[in-house]
Structure formats: C-alpha cells, structure tokens
Structure 1
Amino acid sequence: MSEHRTLDSFALYKRLFGYLRAYWRMFAVSLVAMVVAAATEPLFASLMKPLIDGGFVDKDKTAMIWTPLAIVGLFLVRGVSSYLNEYTTSYLSGHLVQKLREQMFGQLMRLPVRYFDDHPSGRVLSRIAFDVNQVTEAGFNVITVVVKDGITVIGLLALLLYTDWQLTLICLGVLPLVTVIVKVVGKRLRGLSRQNQHNMAQLTQVLGETIDCQKVVKVYGGQDYEAARFAHSAEAIRHNAVKQSSMSSLNTGVTQLVISMALAAILYFATLRAHAGNFTAGDFMSFLTAMLMLFAPVKRITSISQSLQRGLAAAESVFGFLDEHAEADHGRRELGQPRGRLEFRDVRFRYPSAERDALAGVNLEIEPGKTVALVGSSGSGKTTLVSLIPRFYDPAGGEILLDGEPLPDYTLASLRSRIALVSQEVVLFNDTVAANIAYGRLDEVGRAEIVEAARAANALEFIEAMPQGFDTLIGENGVRLSGGQRQRLAIARALLKNAPILILDEATSALDTQSERLVQAALENLMKNRTTIVIAHRLSTIENADRIVVMHQGRVAEEGAHAELIERGGRYKALYESQFAEAREA
C-alpha cells in the first residue's frame, strides 16, 4: 500500500462516520444542539428591531419589558445547547480516536515482519500517537464549524434578505470568489500537512534511536551528530508550521478583505436608504447587527480549511496504515501436538533490494526430537532459514513441511503456539519477572509452574535474591539484569511454553564463560525431547548435536555429526580449527 495514497474527502468522511454508527443517538443530539445554538444568533439580531423601534422610538413599555427578557431566555437556550454540543462532540471524538487507536494497534500486531523491515519505527509510532489525533479535526471540529456556523450564516442571510433583499444581494455576490480562494489554499494546506506527518516521523525516529542507543552515543561521542539530526528535524517541523500558518493567514486575510468590501458597500447603501425614509432605526440596527454577526462565522468557516486539510491528510495516513496487507494466514488446519519433523524442499528466499538470494535452494530434513545445529559464516543464511519456520517470512520458492504438511496449510496462531524461540537479542518487557516468564499465558499458569520453569532455567537463585522476587519490575528490556540473567529468563519463558519445536539463535554467543555454563545447562534441560534447531557461533557448544549443517552462501555445504565432519576435512573443520586457534591465542 502506498505511503502517500490519496483519498477523496467524501470517501474519508464516509469511512470516518462508519465508526460512529453505534453512537448515532449521541450524534443526533450533537447535531440538534448545534442547530439550536446556531438559530439563536439570527434570533438575537431580529430582536434588535422591536427593541429599538418599540422601546426607544415608540416608547412601548411592553416591548421594553419582554425584549430584554427574551434576550436572557435566548442566551439561556444558547448556553444549554452549546454545552450539549461541546460534551457530545468531545464524547464522540474521544470514542473515534480510541477506536482508531485500538484498530491500528491490532493492525500493528497483524502486519508481517517485512513491513517493519521497510518502515522506520518512528513513522509507525507517529501514526498511532500523532496522526490519529489529527483525524478528529477532519471530523467533529470541522463539522461543528460547518454545521453550526453554516446554519448561523444561512439564518443571518435569511434575516438580511427579509429586511432588505437588494442590499443582501451584495453579500451573496462575493461567495463564489470566497469559495475559489478556499479551494486553492486548501489544496496547498493538505500537501503541507502530509509533509508535516513525515517530519514528525523523522523527529520521533531520531528521538527513539537516541534513547535506545544512548550508551553508544555517549561512548562514541555522537552527541553533536544526534543533536544536529534532531535540530534538522525540528527545523523542518518549524518551517512547515510557518508555511501552514502563512497560508492559513493569507486565506483568512484575503477572504476578510473581500467580505469587508462587500460590507462597506452594504453600509453605504443602507445609510442612503435610511436617509430616504425606507429604513426604520430598528431595521437598520437589526440589519447592522446581523451583518456584524455574519462576519465571525464566515471567518471561522474560511479558517477551517487548515484544520480540514490537516485532518484529511492524517485520515489518509491512518486509513493507509489500516489498509496495509496483514500477514498471509490462509491455513485451514489447526496444528495439534506435532511430531516435529521438518523438511525444506528447494527453499529460496531473497530480501528486497538484495543482490543475491539469502537462500538459494536449501534441501534439509530434521527428524522429530533431534537437535540440528546450523553453522557458517555471517550472511550464509542461517537466521533467514530459521525465520521461515514460524513464518516471519515466506519463501519465494520451494516449500517447508511440518509432519508432511506445508506450513501455510496450518493457521499462523496454531503453528506459532508450537514453536519456542530463544535468541541472542533477548526481548523482555518492562514488567515483573513472573509476567516475562509467563508472557502471553499469565492468566493460564500458576505461580508453581513459573517457579519450576525458573528453576529448570537456573534462574531461581538470582530471582529470589531480587527485592520483590518474581514480582520485581525488571525495567525496559530487562535493563536491571545482566546478560546471562536476561538469557535465562528467556529460556524459562521457552520452558514454560513447552513447545515441541525449539529455535535457538546464537543463545550463548554474547555471554561470559560462567554465564554460558549456566545458560548451556538450562538449554540442555530445554532441548530434551524437542525438535531443536540451533544457530551456533561457538562451535564448542554444538559438538553433541545429532547433526551439524554447514551453510555457505545460502546453500547447505555439508552436513553430518561433529566427528564425521572433522574427519571429512571440509568447511566445518576449517571453521572449528580457526575458532580453536583463536581460543588458544586468547
């Protein structure tokens, strides 16, 4: 789906209002309140005639009493209706934003991994946090102005026509010119709003990266560089805001100039008619009041173009995100308890814009309950191969079978429920130890099961030493834990899941020797009776694997047991001896 897909305004509004069908009664109350509040303005102007003619000219005591009381009653009605309008509008716009945010977050979790590879996280965050708020401006703020002020303008014009239709025609003569001005400026404002969304995404991206990578920034002295990136993004936002303000002010200024010229002509001819005796003092006061009251709503209507275009640009962004294609999930078969036999048949895969295939025809069979280690130099296709098993990506050619059935035949949820993953980059949440171990299943498992998983992962000792034990908050991504502790929590999570297929992606490569021993012992507990695929950096950790598969440039170069491969004297032996020599020198 295109990042800058253009939708017409009618389609956007139609889609926005689809979210509010369940609240149509509240919306009806809001519209009625708008209409009532708008009707009070021309009614107030019309009261000027009896007030002036009856109270001041004719000295009518009845008019002197009921006209002020009518004005008080009118403003009472206006106050109540305005309150109802504000409350219902706030209620509805709040529900609209909440629904859109919830839908966008749901869509976020359904999008394929490739989407996040192609789109900066800052743009995704700004869509949900920033763009969705702007949508309300295309919704209720604009509707309030258009409906309320529109009815006010119509009512005031009707009063003007009733009072003197000839003078009022001068007002109507400027409307086509105002419409053209609003349309031209509106198109420019919408383009500026799209650019502002892009600028906000860049600012969020720089901010997020600086927070996530703050240690690297400090060590490598990147403060000035990051400050310059941030300043560039902030400058772009400021420059865009000035442009939007300039265009909006130009729109308002030119429109007001045109209207003021029409009002000046009306005032001139009205005074001539008053001198000729065709206008009473009350007629003139009523006409003048209506004419002056007309100025404010017309100004708001012409100024709403900026909010409208900003909101419509945001709606394009939000609906463009919601219309992104979710992960392909056409499977009709629920995966029960699989035996765990995996088969790769001529599997090919290439990343977008890559010069060559990451996988170039891989054929591999993994028997149930066996441990297969994938080794090879960086870029040989190991991680790509295991990423295809939980269907983070789908192969461009060939197929992968689980227990003799192609992976796409199984539903994604049932397939992934039978796979556990422990990687080098452990992902933990800013929650309690227990919530991280039982992630996704906290309501399904008891504390005893969580404790047992921690014990099997050699994590119980350090967890019990923490201030609140299993209820201790571990900070963002487990920042309060050591690398070995984080890794053992990830292993405990995998143990608790008790999935028959296990993927270990360099799970011990970043650990010191003592932590590696503890983690390796925990992994041995985890690997029992499971089909296990291990990506290993340290070859010493996979010597006991049932089979070792050597990858090279996206292909299987050789495979066999450790002793067999050493005896064969191929790539594996060269890798092994190279690491052994490095360890000896160290």
Structure 2
Amino acid sequence: MASSGSPAPCGCLCLSRASLAWLGAALLLLADWVLLRPALPRVSSLLVPAALPLLRVWVVGLSRWAGLWLGARGVLGATAGTKSESRGVQGWLPSLEPLAAALGLALPGLALFRELSSWRGPRDADSTGLLHWGSRLDVFALSYAAALPAAALWLKLRSLWVRGCRGSSGDVVRRLLGCLGSEIRRLPPFLVLLILSCLGEMAIPFFTGRLTDWILQDGTDAAFTQNITLMCILTIASAVLEFLSDGIYNCTMGHVHSRLQSEVFGAVLRQETEFFQQNQTGAITSRITEDTSTLSESLSEKLSLLLWYLVRGLCLLGLMLWGSLSLTVVTLVALPLLFLLPEKLGKWYQVLAAQVQESLAKSSQVAIEVLSAMPTVRSFANEEGEAQKFRQKQQEMKALNQKEALAYAVNLWTTSISGMLLKVVILYIGGQLVTSGVVSSGNLVTFVLYQMQFTSAVEVLLSTYPSVLKAVGSSEKIFEYMDRIPCCPANGVLTPANLEGLVQFQDVSFAYPNRPDVPVLQGLTFTLRPGEVMALVGPNGSGKSTVAALLQNLYQPTEGKLLLDGKPLPQYEHHYLHRQVAAVGQEPVLFGRSFQENIAYGLIQKPTMEEVIAAAVESRAHSFISGLPQGYSTEVGEAGSQLSGGQRQAVALARALIRKPRVLILDDATSALDANNQLWVEQLLYQSPERCSRSVLLITQCLSLVEKADHILFLEGGTICEAGTHQQLMMNRKRYWTMVQAPGGLGAPE
C-alpha cells in the first residue's frame, strides 16, 4: 500500500509548482497593469522636468524593467526545484527575465529612435508623449505583443551559445573558432568588408527613390547624371568588396579544413591500441576525411550564405526603420504570416505527397503480384476480383491526389496572397504617408524595394539556418575523437644515455580489453639479460605474441610489472623506447613508399644513405634492392604488395636493425625466408659482434634457431610450463620434448 501510494506526493508537488508558476506570472502581469501603470509615470514626472520627455520615458522604462525583473526573480525562486519537479514549466519560466528587459527597453528605445530620426522633418516637442505605455491599454498590450517574440528569440539564441543549455551549440562553435588559430584575425576584416558590401548594394534602391523624386520634381540633367554615376560607383565598389570578403572567407575556411583534419588525425594517432581494435578502420577513416570535408563544405557554402544574408537583412532592416517606422512595423508583423503559415501548409503538402507515393506503391504491388501469378488467378476465375481490388486502390489514390492538389493550391495561394496583401498594405499606408507629406514618393519607392529584398533575405535565412545547425551538430562527432583521452599511460620522460636492455617480467597477467574475462597470460615471471637470446615456444594461442606486444608497450599488464633496466616500461619516453626496443613480425607491414623511407621509418633524425645500406646488408635485403632499376628509391607498392613474403621480412629486419636496438623481438620473423637467409639470421643472432650489446626475444618455429638459444620458455595457457636450455628440456622429456618429436618438428600443431 505504501509503495502504490508513493508517487502521489511527487505528482502533487509537480502540480503545485506548475500552479505556483502560472499564479506568479499572472500576479506579475496584474502588478504591471495596476501598480506600475499609474505609479511610474507620476514618479517620473516629479523627478524629471517636462522639458526632457525622452529622459522621462527612459526613467519609466528602466524602472519598469527593475520592478518586473525583481518579480521574475521571485517567481523563479519560488518555483525552483529539481528538473523532474518543474518539468511542466521549464519551457517558459526562463523567459520571464528577458521578457522584463524587453518590456522595459522596447518603448524607450523606440522613443530614442524617433528622436534621432526627427532631424529630417520639423521637430515635435511632444514626440515622445504617445509612447507612454501606461496611458493606453492598446499600447500596453502592444508592448507585450512586441516583447514576447523578442524574449523567445533571445532564449533561442542563448540556448545555442551558453554552456550547459539544452540544444546548445556554443561549445561546438567555440571549438570551430579555436580551429582557426591565428587565422581568426581575418574575421574582423571579413565582417567589415561584408557590411560595406551590403551597404553598397543598397545604392540601387536608394538612388531609385532619389531618381523618382527627381522625375516628379522636373529635376535637371546634371542631378540625374550625378545620381546615376554615384549609384554605379557604389554598386561596383560593393561587388569588389564582396569579392574580397568571399576571398578572405574561403581562404580562412580552407585553413580550417586543413587544421581540423590534421588535429583529428593527430588525436586518432594518440589513442591506445585497443581503440583501433574496437573501431573499424573504415569508420575512423570516414570520420577523419569525409566528416571533416562535409563539415568544411557546409560551413564554406551554407555559413557564407547565412552570414551574407544576415548582414544584408540587418542593413535593410536599419534602412527600413530609418525610412519609415510605421511601414517597418507592418512588415515585421506580417513576417510570421508570410513565412510560418506557408511552412506549416508545406509540411501538410509533404505528408500528403508521401501518402500518395505509398498508395501508388500498394497499387503497383497488387498489379505485380497478380501478373506474376496469372495461372493461379485464371485457375480460380478471379480476374474480375483482382480488377476490382486494383480499382479500389486507384480510388484511394485518387482521393489522396485530390487532397494533394488542394494542399498544393492552398500552399501556393497562401504564399502568393500573403505577399500581395503585404505589398497592398504597405502601398496603402505608404500612400497615406505620401499624401500627408510625412514621406516623399521617392522614399516610398525606396522602402518598397528595401522591403522586397528584406523578405527575400529572411526567406533565405530560414532555409539556410537549419543546414548550418546540422553541419555544426555533425562536428560533435569529430570532436569526440579530439576530446577522447587515451587509456594508455601518459608519455614518460626517461631517456637514459646508456641502456643495458635488461627485461624483467614480474608476475605479469594480461587479458585483452574486449575480452577481460579471458586471461591470456597468468603470473608470467622471467628475466631476459643483455647478450642473451631467449626463445618462446609453445602451441598456438599460448600467449607468445602477447608477450612480444607487452614488451613493445602496445598494451599494459592487467597485473604485475614489466621492467626495462629496472624501470616500468611506460616511464620511458615514447620515441626513445621504440628506438631501443624494435620488433619484426611474421607478416610485417610496409608502407607504399620507397625502400629507403621504409627502412628509415619512424626515426626522428634522418639516417644517411650509408646507414640505410648497412642495415639492408645486415638483413640480406641489399642484394635484391640494389638489383632494381631505381634501387633504394623504388616504391614497394601498397603494403609492400610488390614484394614477396621473404623480401618483406628482410626489409622489416633492416628497419629494426638500423635503430641498433638494445632489445630485439623476432616474432616468427624468419618464416618466409629461404634456407640461406635463415642461416644468415642464425649467424646474426649468435655470432654477430653486436650480440653482447642486445637482448633478443625469439619466437619461431625453426628448431635450429631455438636449439642455440640461451634460455627456452615453453608457454601453454599463458603460463610457463618448462624453462631451460634445449638439452635440459630434451632430457626432461615433457611438453617441449613432445613438441620437438612430433611429426613436422617444433612447429607442429598440438
């Protein structure tokens, strides 16, 4: 019973908080009307002289803002709680504070604009008197009608920028700006050129109005020529400035693309080995190349278009306000009707179009099914039944077609009629203003041209803005790689001048991250001393290659320690460690570059040609490389595809030997070599002058190499079953002896 009744208090709490929020908002509205309306104008009239009406309006507006802001803070504080408690009111409560600011600043700002624009005509000493919001109910309601969209727009823009807001794109935008680096200094000149170009483009509507006044006033030819010349100069200057701004923008976006792609690739290269096993190579490559290219192309095209029309729209809006405040208000009020209603009707049309396509597919499926089974239809004499079923589908599609045609007509009619109605209203009001002498005929013509360009700019912005948001949103996937912290330890700092090459495995256990419950190594303990060759043998899957991977610091032991000269492996500096520990695998990877580049691969200090040749001679790769037409400059092909298996192993051995490593790992690195080259590797391991200066970990199926090893470890199930020399292990007659005696020798499978 207690359990079943427990949700009730939470529901009551949610309901009470929602009710409290609505009650607080209603009390704010009532206080604004009943208390602030008569009080603030009286107080301002006492504090500010009548000779300063503009200052009086500002005092009233700022006082109103302060009172409403305090009330909004009180409502927010009273309804504060967890997200689950206030889920029903979270959508509109944050709009109270920007709404208070809009209500307080809208009319003072309008009064200031009217005061600034009064220089064009005779000044009215009481020009701000009509703006006292408290004196008339319609003005009070108008202030709310204007403030609500402004508050909603502010919240939308804030949610796109402020950290932590739902749907925020601010972090992504900041990251994209950060990718500009030093190129960010190009943005201010680009914006300046863009604004000047947009203003220059306004010359044609402006001078069209001037020429209209000139024609009506029987002006002189000199004035006509002067206006035409100035219009041409400004138009050409606008085109030049637009060209310069586009050049700066495209050049900057090109740098962003290169920088972003390089940073993503660098971030990927820093990840641990497990990352590349858990993510497909194609997915990583797509993220590095395709995603960054798509983002850059979208920003280059869509964002450029968005910025251009945004600046153009703001310039047009400013000129429209300067030309006629009343006509501008009419245009702004009509914008929702001009764009939002056709957009909603357009979605209705798209839904019907999809239903028509679905109905067509169903009727086609009926026809295909019947035609493919005609013998069955005829054997049951159901031709008329199938025809009737097809006609029924056609009737359904006919009804949908009619609805689709109606929706298309209504959508087209709404778009057309709303645009025509706006033009008619503007011309009617403008005609009244021309008749009353408030504006001239030329100014009306200029305004109409501005208005047409402004609505076009808003239409482009509404269609382009979602594409830019989508492109910015997709960049979050790119930044996932850039922000991902590698699971491997940080790069060490140890770079000792003299490294002996003493390797110690101390109770090492390991399991791969994607299979943590399957141990590969368990309690492995052994020591590899300088000048020794230690061979690892055992059946497949016993963990031999895992030991080699751990010694290369590709993975970290899950338990135990792996020491090099008494220091944990991760404490060594990355480049230094892999110069001292070199490995050659059974199937070595070569890059599609020249032999010289492959042998010198990864060395910070580029080796001389003599050093490259010496390493190739030591690995028996020089003989076939020197026989090629281009010698060491010959390309090996993608992944060494133009070489045999033995040649790839010889080149990989040269790549390891050129580093003069203190620890050399040979993981079945002689499997593809012929008998002569295997004999050469045997001499290299046991008779070379460098033998005393390096430790060798040998994993091989070649018995002749294993027999001479200083120590042999037999691994099975991730543990050491036997250890000793070849003679000792053969005398024990255990697992090692069984493997050697098996048909096929040491490498025979169990």
* TM-score, scaled relative to structure 2: 0.63
1:28 paired to 2:194: no
Aligned-partner Cα distance in 2 for 1:23–1:469: 43
Question: Which AA in structure 1 matches 2:274?
Answer: R
1:545 paired to 2:709: yes
Q: Which residue of 1 aligns with 2:16?
A: none
1:68–1:56 Cα change, 3 Å: farther
Contact kept? 2:666, 2:696, Cα under 8 Å:
yes
C-alpha deviation, 1:306, in angstroms: 4.3
Q: How far does the alpha carbon of each residue in 1:291-314 deviate from its partner, in whole angstroms, 9 at most, with x for none?
A: 221233223312223431342134
Aligned-partner Cα distance in 2 for 1:511–1:523: 15
Q: Which residue of 1 aligns with 2:629?
A: 467
Aligned-partner Cα distance in 2 for 1:51–1:139: 40
Question: Which AA in structure 1 matches 2:730?
Answer: I
Contact kept? 1:13, 1:139, Cα under 8 Å:
no
Q: How far does the alpha carbon of each residue in 1:234-253 deviate from its partner, in whole angstroms, 9 at most, with x for none?
A: xxxxxxxxxxxxxxxxxxx9
Q: Which residue of 1 aligns with 2:471?
A: 311
Contact kept? 1:488, 1:519, Cα under 8 Å:
no
C-alpha deviation, 1:336, in angstroms: 3.1
Aligned-partner Cα distance in 1 for 2:413–2:202: 23
1:397–1:429 Cα change, 3 Å: same
1:554 paired to 2:715: no
Q: Which residue of 2 aligns with 1:90?
A: 250
Structure number with greater Rg is 2
Structure 2 SS opposite 1:481? coil
Structure 2 SS opposite 1:417? helix
Q: Which residue of 2 aligns with 1:77?
A: 237
C-alpha deviation, 1:514, in angstroms: 5.5
C-alpha deviation, 1:72, in angstroms: 0.8
RMSD after superposition: 3.2
C-alpha deviation, 1:21, in angstroms: 4.6
1:396 paired to 2:552: no
Q: Which residue of 2 aligns with 1:358?
A: 520
Structure 2 SS opposite 1:346? strand
1:489 paired to 2:645: no
Structure 1 SS opposite 2:535? strand
Aligned-partner Cα distance in 2 for 1:491–1:270: 84
Q: Structure 1 stretch 149-158 or stretch 339-348: which is displaced more?
A: 149-158
1:254–1:409 Cα change, 3 Å: farther
Which of the numbers 559, 579, 582 marks the counterpart of 1:420?
Answer: 582
Structure 1 SS opposite 2:507? strand
Aligned-partner Cα distance in 1 for 2:483–2:413: 43
Aligned-partner Cα distance in 1 for 2:299–2:262: 18
Which of the numbers 148, 153, 175 marks the counterpart of 2:308?
Answer: 148
1:346 paired to 2:507: yes
1:267 paired to 2:423: yes
Contact kept? 2:257, 2:296, Cα under 8 Å:
yes
Contact kept? 1:330, 1:408, Cα under 8 Å:
yes
Contact kept? 1:456, 1:525, Cα under 8 Å:
no
C-alpha deviation, 1:271, in angstroms: 3.7
User: Structure 2, unaligned stretches of length 5 or more?
Assistant: 1-165, 347-408
C-alpha deviation, 1:259, in angstroms: 7.1
Q: Which residue of 2 aligns with 1:297?
A: 457
Count of paired positions: 511
Aligned-partner Cα distance in 2 for 1:138–1:34: 19
Q: Which residue of 1 aligns with 2:82?
A: none
C-alpha deviation, 1:22, in angstroms: 1.8
Structure 1 SS opposite 2:506? strand
C-alpha deviation, 1:538, in angstroms: 3.7
Q: Which residue of 2 aligns with 1:99?
A: 259
1:524–1:61 Cα change, 3 Å: farther
Aligned-partner Cα distance in 1 for 2:492–2:745: 49
1:287 paired to 2:447: yes
C-alpha deviation, 1:371, in angstroms: 0.8
Q: How far does the alpha carbon of each residue in 1:516-542 deviate from its partner, in whole angstroms, 9 at most, with x for none?
A: 445555555677232011112344431
1:312–1:274 Cα change, 3 Å: closer
1:305–1:261 Cα change, 3 Å: farther
Alignment of 1:215-294 (within 5 A): 262-273=418-429, 278=435, 281-294=441-454
Structure 2 SS opposite 1:504? strand
Aligned-partner Cα distance in 2 for 1:114–1:531: 27
Contact kept? 1:373, 1:547, Cα under 8 Å:
yes
1:300–1:524 Cα change, 3 Å: farther
1:151–1:418 Cα change, 3 Å: same
C-alpha deviation, 1:261, in angstroms: 5.5
Aligned-partner Cα distance in 2 for 1:394–1:89: 47
Q: Which residue of 2 aligns with 1:222?
A: none
Q: How far does the alpha carbon of each residue in 1:533-559 deviate from its partner, in whole angstroms, 9 at most, with x for none?
A: 111234443121111111111111211
Q: Which residue of 2 aligns with 1:436?
A: 598
Aligned-partner Cα distance in 2 for 1:535–1:430: 27
Which of the numbers 660, 684, 691 marks the counterpart of 1:528?
Answer: 691
Contact kept? 2:740, 2:746, Cα under 8 Å:
no
Question: Which AA in structure 2 matches 1:20?
Answer: L
Structure 2 SS opposite 1:427? coil
Which of the numbers 725, 729, 736 marks the counterpart of 1:572?
Answer: 736
Aligned-partner Cα distance in 2 for 1:373–1:399: 20
Contact kept? 2:739, 2:746, Cα under 8 Å:
no
1:151–1:179 Cα change, 3 Å: farther
Q: How far does the alpha carbon of each residue in 1:352-390 deviate from its partner, in whole angstroms, 9 at most, with x for none?
A: 232411112211111221111111222211111111112
Q: Structure 1 stretch 424-433 or stretch 28-37: which is displaced more?
A: 424-433
Question: Which AA in structure 2 matches 1:52?
Answer: T
Q: How far does the alpha carbon of each residue in 1:4-59 deviate from its partner, in whole angstroms, 9 at most, with x for none?
A: xx983111111221233523442221111111112223343222211222136635
Aligned-partner Cα distance in 1 for 2:412–2:722: 80
1:24–1:323 Cα change, 3 Å: closer
Q: How far does the alpha carbon of each residue in 1:185-217 deviate from its partner, in whole angstroms, 9 at most, with x for none?
A: 9xxxxxxxxxxxxxxxxxxxxxxxxxxxxxxxx
* TM-score, scaled relative to structure 1: 0.79
1:260–1:29 Cα change, 3 Å: farther
Structure 2 SS opposite 1:154? helix
Structure 2 SS opposite 1:345? strand
Structure 2 SS opposite 1:362? strand
Contact kept? 2:507, 2:559, Cα under 8 Å:
yes
Aligned-partner Cα distance in 2 for 1:531–1:180: 79
Q: Structure 1 stretch 439-448 or stretch 26-35: which is displaced more?
A: 439-448
Alignment of 1:123-134 (within 5 A): 123-134=283-294
Q: Percent identity?
A: 29
Q: Which residue of 2 aligns with 1:449?
A: 611
C-alpha deviation, 1:119, in angstroms: 1.1
Contact kept? 2:210, 2:443, Cα under 8 Å:
no
1:367–1:579 Cα change, 3 Å: farther
Structure 1 SS opposite 2:202? helix
Question: Which AA in structure 1 matches 2:291?
Answer: D
Question: Which AA in structure 2 matches 1:353?
Answer: N
1:42–1:444 Cα change, 3 Å: closer
User: Structure 1, unaligned stretches of length 5 or more?
Assistant: 1-5, 186-252
1:366–1:255 Cα change, 3 Å: farther
Aligned-partner Cα distance in 2 for 1:429–1:140: 34
Which of the numbers 323, 336, 346 marks the counterpart of 2:497?
Answer: 336
Aligned-partner Cα distance in 2 for 1:332–1:445: 24
Contact kept? 2:278, 2:514, Cα under 8 Å:
no
Question: Which AA in structure 2 matches 1:348?
Answer: S
Aligned-partner Cα distance in 1 for 2:742–2:524: 26
Question: Which AA in structure 1 matches 2:204?
Answer: F
Q: Which residue of 2 aligns with 1:237?
A: none
Aligned-partner Cα distance in 2 for 1:53–1:314: 52
Contact kept? 1:103, 1:322, Cα under 8 Å:
yes
Aligned-partner Cα distance in 2 for 1:521–1:429: 28
Aligned-partner Cα distance in 2 for 1:579–1:305: 73
